[in-house]
Amino acid sequence: MTFASPFSISIVAMTVLAFLGLPIGHAMIAGSVLYLWLAGLDMGTAAEQLLNGMYGNYIILAVPLFILAAELMNIGSMTERLLQFCNAIVGRFRGGLAQVNVLQSIIFAGMSGSAIADAAGTGKMMQVMMTAGGKYRASYAAALTAATAVIGPIIPPSIPMILYALVSDASIGYLFLGGVVPGLLMAFSQMVIVALGARRENFPVEKPTPLRELPRITWQALPTLMMPVVLLGGIYSGVTTPTEAAAMAAAYALLVSMLLYRSVGLRDLYRSILASARTSASVGMLIAGALVFNYVVTVENIPNSIRLLLAGWDLSPLTFLVLVNILLLLLGCLLEGTTILLIVIPVLIPTANALGIDLVHFGIVVVVNIMLGLITPPYGLLLFVMTRIANVSIREIVRDVLPFLFAMVVALAVITVSPDLVLWLPRLLGYQG
């Protein structure tokens, strides 16, 4: 491949357009059309790939539905009741509010599937609760919220896992199951860091919730706590597909917020639908661009070329996974996670297959890496979200997030070298991998 080849020119064009501020999805479509023109291929193929991929793939429909479900939970009182429940459980310990932050992310992860939704929803409330009266530094609260939001797309449901299933043909249901234990491991690593910091910095002890109040608080939060059960129960019982379960999650959040809690009006509903439509459109445009560009990558036979190149290196499966971890952690410093999932991962999957790496295990390793990229400077998207919410500098948040990032990298290493840890639950429910 020479520098003046159509593929090289299209890559340069995409990079320049992206740096000039064009959304990456649009840049990929423009670069792909340029490639087809330079290669003398039918430029209408771009539209064909886009339409066939977007309208012929039932899986993609789950993405906007999970986004809508998260929006409906955030505008209602579901998140408030969830926080009250978490505070009643772990708020009584030193650094209890920080532990509440971790626990609510574990529970909320079973509802939204989006790290940004977690940070923008319960994250705002946790920021106010933790900084009230100077209990915690604003930068520490923001860093912890960014770190705990990473758990969201690891514990099912998960929008990144849906996108990985789109490019790998792995089972969404087994991917969801595979994320449970790694997600809990990530949460445990965060709780350890919080416990160590609580003693070192003498974090406050919250007023314990009387035990007689616990049944009432649990009863009030029960409809919210039941959402993961309804959602995942539908998938694993075979009653619903993941896409149908996403629709059920959105409907459940709407019914609980409007009819049971009576905390959402028609105007709130309109705003949440509008916000989720905007988010879905931006994600959809990125998926569309990736579908067109992946066709270009296939025409150039890039995945097979890389597979043959790496085969010549005689890599072991573990060495390949370590190299993938390093590559994805570095890319996470610069690129948005969805871009990595849709552009880089399809190139690596043939090699993973050739080395006998289970695609569910590989998918979990990939998703964890991409989630860590959300809190990795300089481009960590969650860091920027929390700087706006907490009104602190990016440098302060980075300083406080580093211990959590280090702990989660250790957890990633455990997940990488222990495929049985990831595959234990899927195999328990019938996975043959």
- Residue 226's pLDDT is 81
Average pLDDT over residues 411-433: 90
CA atoms within 13 Å, Cβ hemisphere of 125: 22
Give me the percent of the chain exceeding a pLDDT of 70: 88
Position 286, amino acid: L
Chain Cα centroid distance, residue 276: 16
How does 156-184 read in b/e, with b if 16+ C-beta sit within 10 Å?
A: bbbbbbbbbbbbbebbbbbbbbbbbbbbb
- Residue 301's pLDDT is 72
CA distances from 299 to 13, 45, 164, 342 (A): 18, 12, 21, 16
Chain Cα centroid distance, residue 341: 11
Between CA 307 and CA 327 the distance in angstroms is 16
Answer whether 92's CB lies under 8 Å from 276's CB: no
pLDDT in tens, 40-98: 877 777 777 766 666 666 677 777 887 787 777 767 677 777 777 777 776 667 777 78
What confidence tier does 396 reach under pLDDT thresholds 50, 70, 90?
confident
Between CA 266 and CA 272 the distance in angstroms is 10
Average pLDDT over residues 158-176: 87
- Residue 409's pLDDT is 94
Q: What are phi and psi of 205, to 5 degrees?
A: -105, 125
Give the alpha-carbon dihedral of 11, 15, 16, 21, to 10 degrees.
140
pLDDT in tens, 241-272: 777 887 888 888 888 888 877 777 788 888 88
> Taking 90 as the threshold, does the pLDDT of residue 366 lie above it?
yes
What confidence tier does 298 reach under pLDDT thresholds 50, 70, 90?
confident
The pTM for the full model equals 0.80
pLDDT in tens, 105-117: 887 766 655 676 6
238: three-class secondary structure by DSSP: coil
First-to-last C-alpha distance (Å) of the chain = 37
Average pLDDT over residues 194-218: 79
Average pLDDT over residues 178-185: 92
Q: 139 vs 297, which has greater pLDDT?
A: 139
- Residue 311's pLDDT is 64
pLDDT in tens, 98-150: 888 888 788 776 665 567 666 666 666 777 777 876 778 888 888 888 898 88
CA atoms within 13 Å, Cβ hemisphere of 401: 31
- Residue 182's pLDDT is 94
Q: Judge if the upstream peptide bond of residue 403 is cis by omega within 30 degrees of 0.
A: no
Chain Cα centroid distance, residue 57: 20
Answer whether 287's CB lies under 8 Å from 163's CB: yes
> Taking 60 as the threshold, does the pLDDT of residue 3 lie above it?
no
Average pLDDT over residues 403-423: 94
Between CA 141 and CA 282 the distance in angstroms is 29
What confidence tier does 181 reach under pLDDT thresholds 50, 70, 90?
very high
pLDDT in tens, 331-360: 887 677 777 887 788 888 888 888 889 999
- Residue 314's pLDDT is 73
Mean pLDDT for the chain? 81
Between CA 343 and CA 338 the distance in angstroms is 8
- Residue 295's pLDDT is 78
